Amino acid sequence: MKRRNKIKILVIHGPNLNLLGKREPHIYGVATLSNINTALKKLAEKEKIYLKIIQSNYEGKIIEAIHNAAKDKFHGIIINPAAYTHTSIAIRDALSSVNLPTIEVHLSNIYCREEFRRYSLISAVAIGQICGFGPNSYLLGLKAILDLLRKNKE
Ligand code: DQA
């Protein structure tokens, strides 16, 4: 399939996710970000889609990546906003401004952790949220968005 006909998905990893593998492994597991990205790329190849993956520790960079996804005609976004989930009206506004189908993912189950993690500012502008499945949350998120985009095309 020619690249211009492919479904294009942007995966965004938020702050501190570059430390996965070393960071609180009892909560986030031992898989590194590179392990997660490899699994995502393998699934993308199988599904014959184009996947772009970015990680940033900066709110503004994440916002610009969301704006660029719309400019570059991406079809959807998978985002783990990490701690910005609970604080960032700006990322939420960026997502609702571009209005691309978005799936929010988290490695941990944010509802059985500290009180401040139980509220997501992002969920209201996402199609859905997947949390608690470790690295598999991302793969489930990618499958969910592809399913949705392909159904919408029928
Ligand atoms: C996280 C959950 C957030 O509360 C936390 O700040 C993270 C990671 C997760 O993937 O489980 O950095 O988004």
Domains and CATH numbers, the chain: 18-84+97-153 (3.40.50.9100)
Average pLDDT rounded to a whole number, residues 73-93: 98
Q: Is the pLDDT of residue 2 over 90?
A: no
Q: How far is the CA of 81 from the centre of ligand 1 (A)?
A: 7
Catalytic (active site) residue 106? yes
Estimate to the nearest angstrom the gap between the alpha carbon of 15 and the chain centroid: 12
pTM: 0.96
State the closest ligand 1 atom to the C-alpha of 137, by its place in the atom list counted from 1: 10
Is it the case that residue 3 has pLDDT exceeding 70?
Answer: no
The reply to whether ligand 1 has any atom less than 6 angstroms from the CB of 16 is: yes
Q: In residues, how long is the chain?
A: 154
Q: What mean pLDDT comes out for the span 14-31?
A: 97
* Helix (H), strand (E) counts: the chain: 5, 5
83 CA to middle of ligand 1, Å? 6
Per-residue pLDDT, averaged over 77-83, amounts to: 98
* CA trace torsion 15, 142, 130, 152 (10° rounding): 130
- 113/109 Cα distance (integer angstroms): 7
Which H, E and C letters describe 55-96, residue by residue? ECCCHHHHHHHHHHHHHCCCCEEEEECHHHHHCCHHHHHHHH
pLDDT of residue 152: 86
Question: Which of 151, 90, 153, 154 lies closest to 125, judged by CA?
Answer: 90
Percent of the chain with pLDDT over 90: 95
pLDDT tens digits, residue range 88-135?
999 999 999 999 999 999 999 999 999 999 999 999 999 999 999 999
Our mutation pick for probing the ligand 1 site, out of 27, 78, 106, counting the most ligand atoms within 8 A of Cβ, is 106
Active site residue 28: yes
H or E segment at 145?
Answer: helix 136-153
